Amino acid sequence: MATDTKRKRRESAEQKRARAVELVERLDHAMPEAKIELDYRTPLELVVAVSLSAQTTDKRVNLVTPALFARFPTAADYAAATPLEVEGYIKTVGLFRNKAKNLVKLGQVLVERHGGEVPGGRAALSELPGVGNKTAGVVTIHLGVERAFPVDTHILRLSKRLGLSTTTDPDDVEADLRRVLPEALWFKAHQLLIWHGRRCCGALRPECHRCVLEGLCPKTGVKPPKKKP
């Protein structure tokens, strides 16, 4: 049997695209329920929730956002608050002080420049305080505004392991993924790769023995398990 390395070297661009599509199909069959795990009802709540999720878990964000959203339902409410007041609602979230400052600034910018509404388009969103390109991409795809393939830590890790990208820059990884997958699959693949990274292909101990992608994954960078003496 040819090794994964030899197979990967022989893989043409066309073969890589076909393999990428099959990867998504297998993940979709295994996890048809995959969806964003942050709770939100409005575009503003989505922006806030995704911004808060950096350096913490979606579960933790979902624990603090009900009270936060009830107290600050509009951009004007954030704009009129102090960072200290916002901190009281998100103090169990990682980097909460910096995030509280950004939420106040976010509200102010939305009120001053966008009439209190979340702007459409990734470029405009990425300029908002505490947002950035990745968060803007997540917001746009879930609002159905633009097609994008935002890259988080899980997708960054899996794109290399799956042999779909060799770079470590999130923007370059996104460009690679957009090349190997048809646009119609970007939204679905984004969520499926995140779920797979959380549930099976962990950073330190990928559970290859139960992975549905066995045979399609070159396991780039994954150390083989130690043999028992």
pLDDT in tens, 152-193: 999 999 999 999 999 999 999 999 999 999 999 999 999 999
Kindly list the catalytic residues: 134, 152
* Same structural domain, 91 and 128: yes
Give the tokens for residue 123. 């470029």
**Tens digits of residue pLDDT in 111-132:** 999 999 999 899 999 999 999 9
| Assigned domain for 181 exists | yes
What is the rounded distance in angstroms from the CA atom of residue 229 to the CA atom of residue 215? 27
Counted domains in the chain: 2
pLDDT of residue 228: 59
* Same structural domain, 55 and 116: yes
| Assigned domain for 83 exists | yes
* Same structural domain, 79 and 126: yes
Cβ contact 27:193 at 8 Å = yes
pLDDT mean across residues, the chain: 93
Q: Which range of residues forms the domain containing residue 12?
A: 4-30+149-210
